Structure 1
Amino acid sequence: MWSLGCILVEMFTADTLFAVSDSTAQINKFVEVLGMPPSSILDSSTRSTKFFEKTPGSDRYVLKKPRNGETYKAAGMRKMQDILDIDLEGSMYEKGEDDDNFLYEYVDFIDLILLMLKYDPSERITPCEALNHKFFNSQEE
């Protein structure tokens, strides 16, 4: 489902969602878009210490600074609506009566993508759930 979510974004934008040259950059790109992974995932990972460190006196993790000096946006600050170039405020939908439907379809599309890109596979949407998602069923209403 993760791969399908990335592919859907790439089909929509014609750009690779997490285009990077190494694993450090890839982890940073994930965090920019999806926020920090849950501590439970990082605690169970054998490689989390390569990219993350626990804050002293806490169970919270922070990203380690990239060695190459590359800078990234803060966790969760790169919004999917910006990646998809969708104006959810409505200015691009002031064309006619049916434009609200397009807005709802975009909101549903973003919701579906974010469910596909959950860090924890047990929380990630399943193929069956995805087919029943409101994005695919919005045309019936």
Structure 2
Amino acid sequence: MGLRRIAAGAVPLVTLSAALVIPLVAPATANAVPTESTPSTSTPSTSEVKVEPNAPMPVADGAIGYTATPQSTRWLADRKPEDVISNLPSPPTDRKSNEQMAEYLGLELDAAVENPGACLQVIVNPPLEQGGMFNYGFFAVEREYCPR
């Protein structure tokens, strides 16, 4: 099984234009304490990360969770939403965040599509403060947990 993103804790946020925010996906080694066998480097680039479908992520109280069918997941992947997100107009300060979010969404969709019967889970968390932004998470989910 490949690396898997962390569900909570030190998950950086990525902005999508001026109105949306999603948690970035990070490999499990991103927060590991370096040892002799663990190189002390920064988070690997997405080209080094292999995402595998896993059990669905828990949906916190007040959040909204949706698990797409495998067919809906393939439909979405065919439309390349990561390209749309990375090309949205955004302030220069948010540009890199949008591109990172698009990369991670692409990784999760690719993982779901490459594993027959797997699907995509979307979690929307409410803003942490009044007037804040929503947080979005995208996760590849194993076949056994996907609706038919």
TM over 0.5: no
Computing the radius of gyration over CA atoms, which structure comes out larger, 1 or 2?
A: 1
Structure with the bigger percentage of strand = 2
What is the TM-score normalised by the length of structure 2?
0.29
What is the TM-score normalised by the length of structure 1?
0.30
Structure with the bigger percentage of helix = 1
